[in-house]
């Protein structure tokens, strides 16, 4: 088959190559996928990264232990609180610092609010990727209420930088409890609406069921974590298995599904939102009085050694690995981001599907590109 300007547009094997991204509506950022197609069927995918590399890890080596946290808000920008928390927890681990109970509970509430708003954005974007624009606006209605809580609590909506080594930066706003309770009541009433417009839709079920299958073994061997892995039946919720902050004080279920397809991933996230609401409701009335921050020295210096802490972000397991040589800034930092490992499983999930399936798979593994490409 020849193109208009004469060159052969097919490869020698008869494949049709298209480049999806780095500017593409459904890659949610600057991800570049090189796709080998046979008609509409995807034969092979090669993800290319590097379009939004900011060298956050290298940059952190010249920042103090207070300042390097700020850069992590720019990694997974939908879960800035959780990223900050992961770094703060690692530094606290190095200092062997006991965080006040009040800070722990507030951290947990904010992390779960973060998870809720991240899943809501994911839900809206999934609708958008599958061609339905309306869910996006429904999702943003409730997400906006959560963003307003963030704004009132710490002045920022996206890059919060609120969790610091030792606790939280400032105490919460006096309205915090009331607003969170109001928002929880609002959101609980809207879950049914979400299900009505998307979950029960026969077109949506056809688009997602049996698409992008990821087996439990593959999920394990590719290091897939978070809702994506739990949808394949892999139990990996760090909030359950390695509780941090106040997760050991609350009752909640780890959502597991055995489907392994896009629909299972969709349902896991939908059910996780309900669990997050339940966690917040258990904690919001029980915020203990007391300090919101433990006393730390002005210049934090970690003892010589290696420190690792992992947390459960809305997308999976975020690990922070700090190597310290005893100085005021880390010797080496490595982040284990959930998106990178989840993306690595995309080629096996998308193989043999259609282009439309590829978009559905990318939507349901919930990629955030600045998290993959730090």
Shortest separation between residue 134's beta carbon and other proteins, angstroms:
5
Residue 128 in contact with other proteins, rule: CB under 8 A: yes
Q: How many residues bind other proteins (CB under 8 A)?
A: 35
- 101 or 201: CB nearest other proteins: 201
* Beta-carbon contacts of residue 110 (< 8 Å; ≥ 6 apart): 81, 150, 153, 162, 163
- 207 or 230: CB nearest other proteins: 207
Going by C-alpha positions, the residue among 51, 49, 17 that lies closest to residue 34 is: 17
- 47 or 100: CB nearest other proteins: 47
Stretch that binds other proteins, among 2-10, 102-110, 286-294, 332-340 (CB under 8 A): 2-10
Binding-residue pattern over the window 195 to 214 for other proteins, x denoting contact by CB under 8 A: --xx--x-xx-xx-------
Q: Quick one: which of 85, 92, 129, 142 contacts other proteins (CB under 8 A)? A: 129
- 180 or 359: CB nearest other proteins: 359
- 178 or 209: CB nearest other proteins: 209
Stretch that binds other proteins, among 109-117, 136-144, 155-163, 229-237 (CB under 8 A): 136-144
Sign of CA dihedral 327, 329, 332, 333: positive
Where do we find the tokens 């390097």?
A: 68
* Burial class for 3, CB neighbours closer than 10 Å (0-12, 13-18, 19+): exposed
Cα gap 238→285, rounded to integer Å: 24
Binding-residue pattern over the window 339 to 358 for other proteins, x denoting contact by CB under 8 A: ---------------xxxx-
Residue 127 in contact with other proteins, rule: CB under 8 A: yes
Report CA dihedral (282, 285, 290, 293) to the nearest 10 degrees: 50
List, as one string, the DSSP characters of 177-198: HHHHHHHHHHHHHHHHHHIIII
Residue 24 in contact with other proteins, rule: CB under 8 A: yes
Peptide bond connecting 22 to the previous residue in cis, omega within 30 degrees of 0:
yes
Binding-residue pattern over the window 39 to 58 for other proteins, x denoting contact by CB under 8 A: -x------------------
Binding-residue pattern over the window 158 to 197 for other proteins, x denoting contact by CB under 8 A: ---------------------------------------x
- 151 or 205: CB nearest other proteins: 205
Going by C-alpha positions, the residue among 313, 310, 339, 296 that lies closest to residue 27 is: 339
Shortest separation between residue 157's beta carbon and other proteins, angstroms:
20
* Burial class for 286, CB neighbours closer than 10 Å (0-12, 13-18, 19+): exposed
Given a contact cutoff of 8 angstroms between Cβ atoms, the answer to whether 305 and 324 are in contact is yes
Q: Quick one: which of 56, 71, 88, 130 contacts other proteins (CB under 8 A)? A: 130
Report phi then psi at 157, rounded to 5. -105, -30
- The string over 292-301, giving b where at least 16 C-beta atoms fall within 10 Å of a residue's C-beta and e elsewhere, is bbeebeeebe
Residue 9 in contact with other proteins, rule: CB under 8 A: yes
Binding-residue pattern over the window 220 to 239 for other proteins, x denoting contact by CB under 8 A: --------------------
Cα gap 77→57, rounded to integer Å: 16
Cα gap 339→254, rounded to integer Å: 20
Cα gap 154→168, rounded to integer Å: 10
- 6 or 50: CB nearest other proteins: 6
Shortest separation between residue 5's beta carbon and other proteins, angstroms:
5
Residue 249 in contact with other proteins, rule: CB under 8 A: no
- 5 or 12: CB nearest other proteins: 5
Residue 18 in contact with other proteins, rule: CB under 8 A: yes
**Chain residues in the site for other proteins (CB under 8 A):** 3-5, 9, 16-18, 24-26, 40, 127-134, 136-138, 141, 197-198, 201, 203-204, 206-207, 354-357, 359
């Amino acid at each position: 088959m020849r193109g208009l300007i004469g060159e052969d547009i097919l490869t020698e094997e008869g494949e049709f190559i298209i480049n999806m991204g780095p500017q593409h509506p459904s890659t949610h950022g600057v991800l570049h996928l090189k796709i080998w197609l046979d008609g509409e069927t995807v034969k092979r995918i090669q993800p290319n990264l590097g379009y939004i590399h900011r060298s956050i890890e290298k940059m952190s080596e010249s920042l103090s232990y207070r300042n390097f946290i700020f850069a992590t808000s720019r990694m997974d920008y939908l879960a800035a609180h959780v990223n900050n928390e992961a770094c703060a927890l690692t530094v606290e681990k190095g200092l062997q610092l006991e965080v006040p109970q009040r800070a722990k509970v507030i951290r947990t509430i904010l992390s779960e609010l973060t998870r809720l708003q991240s899943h809501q954005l994911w839900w809206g974007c999934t609708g958008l990727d599958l061609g339905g624009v309306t869910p996006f606006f429904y999702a943003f209605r409730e997400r906006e209420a959560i963003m307003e809580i963030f704004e009132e609590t710490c002045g920022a909506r996206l890059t919060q930088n609120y969790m610091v080594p030792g606790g939280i930066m400032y105490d919460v706003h006096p309205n915090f409890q009331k607003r969170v309770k109001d928002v929880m009541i609002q959101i609980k009433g809207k879950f049914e609406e979400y299900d009505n417009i998307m979950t029960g839709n026969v077109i949506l079920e056809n688009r997602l069921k049996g698409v992008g299958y990821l087996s439990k073994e593959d999920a394990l061997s590719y290091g897939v974590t978070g809702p994506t892995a739990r949808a394949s039946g892999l139990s990996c919720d760090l909030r359950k298995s390695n509780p941090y902050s106040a997760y050991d004080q609350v009752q909640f279920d780890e959502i597991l599904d055995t489907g392994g397809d896009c629909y299972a991933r969709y349902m896991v996230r939908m059910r996780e939102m309900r669990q997050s609401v339940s966690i917040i409701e258990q904690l919001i009335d029980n915020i203990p009085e007391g300090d919101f921050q433990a006393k730390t020295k002005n210049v934090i210096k970690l003892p010589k050694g290696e420190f690792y802490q992992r947390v459960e972000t809305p997308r999976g397991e975020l690990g922070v690995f700090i190597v310290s040589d005893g100085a005021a800034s880390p010797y080496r930092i490595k982040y284990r981001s959930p998106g990178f490992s989840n993306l690595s499983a995309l080629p096996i999930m998308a193989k043999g599907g259609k282009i439309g399936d590829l978009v559905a798979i990318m939507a349901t593994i919930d990629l955030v590109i600045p998290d993959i490409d730090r």
